[in-house]
Amino acid sequence: MTNSFKTLIFLSLLIVTACDTDDETESLSGENRLTLEFDNSFSGDDLLLETSSYTNANGETLSIARFNYIVSNFMLIDENGEEFRYPKDESYFIISEENGLTEVILENIPAGNYIALRFGLGVDQEKYQQGAEGQGDFLEIAEENEMMWSWQAGYKFLNFEGSFTSESNSEQTDFKIHTGSHGSSLDNYKEVQVNFPSDAVVSADLSPLVHFEVDASSILTGTHKIKLSEKAVIMVDEEKSPKIAENALEMFSVHHIHNGTGGHH
Amino acid sequence: MNDLLNIKIISIIALLWVIPIKAKEIKKDSIHAFDSLNYWEECDICGCSGNGGSMGYGTLLNNDFLGLRYITQQYRSLDGIYNNSPWIDENFNTIQAWAQFKLSEKVSLNAIIPYHFHNRDFENGETQTISGLGDISLLAFYKIISPKMEGWLPEQNPIFKHSLSLGGGLKAPTGVYNRENNQGSVNPGFQVGTGSWDFILASDYSVTYKTWGAGAMANYTIKNENKASYQFGNQLNYGITIFKNINTNSMLGFTPSLGISGEVFEENKSYGQVVQDTKGNILFGKLGLETAYNRFSLGLNLMLPISQNLNSGNVEAVHRLGVHLNYNLF
């Protein structure tokens, strides 16, 4: 036998060993955590407080000082359309750019291939009706993050502040946008469903991260055009705050999913 | 689906090897400057951990050789998901030992053993370095069309020659794959190995007329899922080169070349799920100069991007430069 043949046999063996490692798709089991990263941005740029300015579609140039909001009532939807509702009492979180709160960790999620997430922006009436006692720690956390008017007036669902200039306002003018449900008289709690660009796979070993791109420009220039030059402080406004609440749902999209064992950026 | 594909590839490779091999030794007495033109440039976006190259695996009128090659590649990569996220510089360096041995007049073997040392500088001043043995590749080529043999007399030398080779092979996971380097949104190719057994299909065509020549190559690499459940996307490389052989005397020859080459990448997968922004394509223009002196040949290759859309524009190739020194065995 020549050396050439020996080489060939060796190579053939390599191929044979290479292809017997075919893996089967195992069924997923167990439970794990799922992390939601709310990465705040403005029209494709990273949102930086105070230091950057952003021009919106209304021709206004904004410097943003505060961008806080409440996310709640998470429900995961898997590839079969099955829904998993996260325990309601543990389902209220604050995202705050200034305080570095950008992550929500959902614990004990059952194994599955999840394709979408439904959640609310703000606090629903059912929760609010439980009274101050029923809010648990969340009341205090909301106060610390400037997300309460007062107990009677209720939670601020969105707290978006800064200053702006426009054609009619050449001087830096402060703006404040605080939306909420204003007690129970005006219900601005709304839910949104976001689809994932690839499955988020949860199992005993796998703990995915859902990386949201949250575009703050939608607040003023989403479906409804809200001009700061018309009104720069919007708090209890029966006309504009429901529109802002609708616009704000458009902020959320999922940029990508990190599937893995939990390490991420 | 992958299994089916793999089976097909294995059958093709197996078929190639079943073809009887004549152990006929033919001695070549001259150095062909053309020989080294369609070298397999083992280099790509995947930090050279991938395989497959833009210049072809095969060779024309090939001699057996042993050689060393240094390749440096520069990239810019977006560290983040936003327009105003920082760009970081990445340098991919590779030293490879490579060899080609003819088993018969029709069948030859190629082997490449790479060593990589890559670095990238983050905006916060941190530098990340990875280095180590890369993925070793072995390929077998079968010559479907062989150039006509030259006779002893000058009028017996055909003016027009062409050659077509088909081949296949394996890339072994000898380079360490580190999943950590695939986190974040930076270039996922910052690795010294794919961590997987990958299959390579290659084809190479060359034609020469007097002192002019042209080569066309295409190769396709099927990448499998590695142990860390990451799978790099399959990759197509193609290229066309024209060259001219200038012999100053019987010992010394120069061969300048000009060409284009392209790479097309499919999406990567992680735990069976598509990883966003990992597919892409790039087209390079390439310039080369090869000199042959006695049994040695020294080559220089420069590749500059003509158009590219890698990782949704989040990775940009700046340039590639390769230098090699080969020793022809026969």
Q: How many domains does chain A have?
A: 1
Residue A73 DSSP symbol = E
Nearest-angstrom CA–CA distance, B285 and B319: 10
Pair of tokens at residue A95: 């995202």
Q: How far is A197 from chain B (nearest CA, A)?
A: 8
**Position A265 in a domain:** no
Residues of A in contact with B197 (CB under 8 A): 18-19, 21
Q: How far is B9 from chain A (nearest CA, A)?
A: 10
Q: Do A14 and B172 touch (CB under 8 A)?
A: yes
Q: Does A264 touch chain B (CB under 8 A)?
A: yes
Nearest-angstrom CA–CA distance, B179 and B228: 7
Q: Do A45 and B81 touch (CB under 8 A)?
A: no
How many other CB atoms sit within 10 Å of the CB of residue B304?
Answer: 13
Beta carbons within 8 Å of B133's beta carbon, 6+ residues apart: B113, B114, B115, B116, B174, B175, B176, B192
Backbone angles phi and psi of A109, in degrees to 5: -85, 130
Pair of tokens at residue B280: 């892409």
Q: What's the CATH superfamily of B28-328?
A: monomeric porin ompg (2.40.160.40)
**Position A245 in a domain:** yes
Tens of pLDDT along chain B (330 residues)? 445 444 444 444 343 333 333 223 333 333 343 443 444 444 444 443 333 334 334 343 456 889 998 999 999 999 888 988 999 999 999 999 989 888 988 998 999 999 999 999 888 888 999 999 999 999 999 999 887 665 555 566 677 888 899 999 999 999 999 988 876 657 888 899 999 999 999 998 989 888 899 999 999 999 999 999 999 999 999 999 999 988 777 778 888 999 999 999 999 999 999 998 899 999 999 999 988 888 888 989 999 999 999 988 899 999 999 998 988 886
Q: Do A256 and B183 touch (CB under 8 A)?
A: no
**Position A7 in a domain:** no
Q: Does A4 touch chain B (CB under 8 A)?
A: yes
**Position A105 in a domain:** yes
Domain limits at A226? 36-258
**Position A79 in a domain:** yes
**Position A17 in a domain:** no
Q: How far is residue A37 from each of residues A47, A85, B245, measured CA to CA in Å?
A: 14, 19, 59
Helix B2-18 and helix A3-19, axial crossing angle in degrees, nearest 10: 170
- Taking only residues 200 to 229 of chain A, the set having a beta carbon closer than 8 angstroms to any beta carbon of chain B reads 201, 206, 211, 213
Nearest-angstrom CA–CA distance, B166 and B180: 37
pTM for the predicted model, two decimal places: 0.81
Q: What is the ipTM of this complex?
A: 0.78
